[in-house]
């Protein structure tokens, strides 16, 4: 029945209206295998349906999207999550990515772009949009005090360059052209940043958040 090549998706959002909107938009291009409106049911549905990609909101009753990621990853370590949120608070988005989401898109994203992002996450590539790049840059550059572990707590100049170009709205191919590297290398930089973000101590980021009056 269902086309095996269509990505399977679970939608997690507490607004039923939004879920049905996304479901309609994805119709024919993704196979929505489950929906959930809070943390507890989200974990249950994802574990039962085993989708390729989970579309996840930041704010959820029962502890937020990060909780869902933590719980699910404990059982399925390679589950792919894509954060889909209206929140424009950097710490909201960064916290979800830190928990293990492979990317972040805004809720106002066009249907085509959303489908593309789902495909990317499904293929194991990070979805590093301009906004997320800006948030991550801000998160890493806000540190004035000496970092405890430069390997993890700092971006390399190249990574910073790549992130800034993403934030400015350049596409991977354009970035590769500008920097004289291959698109693959651009991707490996974003993946490295994502890893760093997930390894950064909780302490570091919360200090960043508190200094910016965000928590």
Stretch that binds other proteins, among 69-77, 92-100, 162-170, 189-197 (CB under 8 A): 162-170
Instruction: State the number of binding residues for other proteins (CB under 8 A).
Output: 15
For residue 128, the tally of other CB atoms under 10 A from its CB is 26
- Residue 88 touching other proteins (CB under 8 A): yes
Half-sphere exposure at residue 130, Cβ-oriented, CA atoms within 13 angstroms: 8
- Residue 164 touching other proteins (CB under 8 A): yes
Name the packing angle between helices 90-99 and 130-141 (round to 10°).
Answer: 90
Residue placing its CB nearer to other proteins in the complex, 44 or 212: 212
| Among 20, 169, 211, 215, contact with other proteins (rule: CB under 8 A) | 169
Cα dihedral 15→19→21→24 (10° resolution) = -160
- Residue 134 touching other proteins (CB under 8 A): yes
- Residue 167 touching other proteins (CB under 8 A): yes
Cα dihedral 183→184→186→191 (10° resolution) = 150
| Residues within the interface to other proteins (CB under 8 A) | 88, 130-131, 133-135, 137-138, 141, 164, 167-170, 174
């Amino acid at each position: 029945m269902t086309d095996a090549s269509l990505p399977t998706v679970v939608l997690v959002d507490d607004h039923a209206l939004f879920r049905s909107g996304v479901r309609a938009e994805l119709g024919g291009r993704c196979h929505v295998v489950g929906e959930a409106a809070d943390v507890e049911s989200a974990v249950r549905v994802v574990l039962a349906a085993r989708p390729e990609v989970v579309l996840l909101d930041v704010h959820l009753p029962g502890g937020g999207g990060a909780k869902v990621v933590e719980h699910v990853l404990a059982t399925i370590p390679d589950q792919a999550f894509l954060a889909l949120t209206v929140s424009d608070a950097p710490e909201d988005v960064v916290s979800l990515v830190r928990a293990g989401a492979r990317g972040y898109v805004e809720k106002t994203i066009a249907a085509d772009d959303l489908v593309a992002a789902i495909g990317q996450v499904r293929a194991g590539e990070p979805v590093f949009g301009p906004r997320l790049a800006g948030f991550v840059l801000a998160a890493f550059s806000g540190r004035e005090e000496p970092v405890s572990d430069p390997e993890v707590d700092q971006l390399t100049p190249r990574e910073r360059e790549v992130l800034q170009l993403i934030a400015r709205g350049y596409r991977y191919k354009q970035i590769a052209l500008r920097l004289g590297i291959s698109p693959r290398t651009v991707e490996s930089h974003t993946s490295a940043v994502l890893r760093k973000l997930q390894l950064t101590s909780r302490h570091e980021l919360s200090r960043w958040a508190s200094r910016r009056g965000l928590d």
